[in-house]
Structure formats: structure tokens, C-alpha cells
Amino acid sequence: MKRICYLFLLLAAAPSVAGEMLVIAHRGASGELPEHTIAAYTRAIEQGADYIEPDLVATRDGHLIARHEHLLAMQGGEATTNVAEVFPERVRDGALYGQAVRGWFVEDFTLAEIGRLRARERMPEVRPASAAHDDRFSIPTFQEVAALAKRAGVGLYPELKQPEHFAALGIDVVARFQEELQRAELDPHGALFVQSFHPPTLRRLREALGPRVKLVHLDREAPDLADVSTYANGVGVPMTVAMEPAFIMSAHIYGLAVHPYTLRAEARFLPDGITFEQALDALRAAGADGVFTDFPGRARRHLGGG
């Protein structure tokens, strides 16, 4: 009840709140097109996103590609690619975040083999309009996404996914990311945030890339802000955490930006009884510095600017 009352206080205060929030296109305009595709990133750029967000995983031969996780498809379940049709024999037992699953895993494929795959909508029952574009778009490399951001003059906000998983396979995604960042000729001190749920990865990046690189600690709950401030410039937390009284104020005291995730338009993903725009207003009223959203165009229209 306390959280609900505070939320409505934020909604009431929102119209008078000044300041700009970054619109971070979560996996591109992923509410409209299959996530992590050049088409979804391009749509987000056209809609005025400040940053596009590629999640990065590694192929067997060490190339970084844009996928949400190392599982490309679950047998009989969620899929973001058509890998089950292209490579049916590659299915195997594995694990995802400690849970046993049977499916197809990126580390079993070379970049050339990934090039034969096409993207699919992760939640076809929720987003049938996006699912209508299944199998049209290829799986982009980090280099392709970085080149798009550079051409368009927008920021890039990559997440290094499951670095400890890949390290166990002998693939150092932190080292690979540093190499590919240099290859892409991106200024690490420019319009770039690098994020991870894995503090040791962020600490390595801080040491390797220097103090001016913007690093973001991701968490599923409120983190130890004092500790996070020793290696990161910001925190990415669930919207419900960001809406808690005093959380953003405390983060700002430690010099940390706050970028809540993930603002979606469908009612099932929103706090009870409020709209996408009201949730955005509540985050703005709370002092959020940016927001991850699957609908960057809708966020940009409501916030203005761009």
C-alpha cells in the first residue's frame, strides 16, 4: 500500500518535474519488431532514441553478436531465432541461469553458421504484429550495430551477457569486447554506456578502459550503492525499485545515474492501474536519469525533444 500511495504522489507531481531523461531503446524498438535486429535498432533511431541497446554474447569462434542470452531457442518453447529449423541436429541439454534446459546455444555455432539464421519475436502471443516479421532479419554482429549507431550519431549501450558462462568455455568476452570496441573505432569516452550484472566484469572494464568510461551496474533489486560507486557510474534496476522513496536520491548522492528497466506498453508489464505514460511520468518525477523501453517512439513523444 505504501508503494502504491507513493506512486500516485509521483504521478501527481510529474507535470511540474523538469529535466531530461534518456530514452534507451531496449533491444531496439523491440515492442514493434523482433528484438536485436538492425531493423529494430533502425526503427528506434528513427523514433528519436538517445541510445540503442545490444546485448552481446559470443559465438564458438569468439565473435560478439546481438542476442539477449546464449540460448538461441528452447526446444518446444521460447525462441528468438529459427535455429531449430536450420540446425535441428544441434539441440542439446544445457543450462540457462542455473536452470536445466534443452535447446540450441550460441557457443555451439560459428559466426558463419549464425549468418544462416533469422530472428524471431520472443513473445509472439503478446506481440503478433512483431511476429509477422519473423524470419525476415539476420542476426547482427556487434560491429554492425556499432557501425549503425556511429552513422546515425546515437549512443550505444551494450550489455555483456553471462561473462562468467563464457569464461568457463574459454571465451573472454571482456577482452573480446575491448578488441571489438577498438576495431569499431568508437570513442570509449563518448556516447557509450557499458552494462553488466557481473561486478567483476565491470571492475575489469574500469581498470582496462579508464575512469572516464561510463559503466552501469545492473541489479534485480536495490544494490549496495556505496560499493557500486567504487567501480560504476550508474545503476540499472527494475522500475519498482526506482519508484521506491529515496532510492534515486540516494543513488545521486553517490554520484550514480539511475536507468530503470523495462518500460513496456502492455498492461501485464505495468504496475496495476496505470498506463505507459503514467509510469514514465512517475519515473521522471522520482528523478530517473533515463529509462530502458521497448517502445522508444512512444517514450520520446511523451517526453518531448529528440
Task: Dump pLDDT digits (tens) for 247-306.
Answer: 999 999 999 999 999 999 999 999 989 999 999 999 999 999 999 999 999 999 999 865
* Residue span of the structural domain in which 200 resides: 2-70+139-303
Provide the phi-psi class of 19: left if phi over 0, else alpha when psi is between -120 and 50, else beta: left
Asked if residue 92 is part of any domain, the answer here is: no
| Rounded mean pLDDT, 194-198 | 98
Number of independent structural domains in the chain: 1
Give domain status of residue 122, yes or no.
no
Instruction: Answer yes or no: is 216 within a domain.
Output: yes
Domain membership of residue 236 (yes or no) is yes
Residue 190: per-residue pLDDT: 87
- Give the CATH number, domain containing residue 202: 3.20.20.190
CB 232 within 8 A of CB 270: no
Q: State if pTM tops 0.95.
A: no
Residues 87-144 have pLDDT tens digits of: 999 999 999 998 999 999 999 999 999 999 999 999 999 999 999 999 999 999 999 9
Residue 106 located in a structural domain: no
| Averaged pLDDT of the chain | 93
Q: Look at residue 18 in the predicted model and tell me its pLDDT.
A: 40
- Judge whether 163 lies within some domain: yes
Residue indicated by cell numbers 569516452: 189
Closest CA to 134 of 52, 73, 90: 73
157: in domain: yes
CA distance 146 to 142: 6
| % of the chain at pLDDT higher than 90 | 88
Task: Judge whether residue 12 has pLDDT over 70.
Answer: no
The pLDDT score that the predictor gives to residue 245 is: 80
- Is 83 a member of any domain? no
CA distances to 80, 137, 169, 252, 288 from 246, rounded to whole Å, are 38, 43, 41, 10, 12
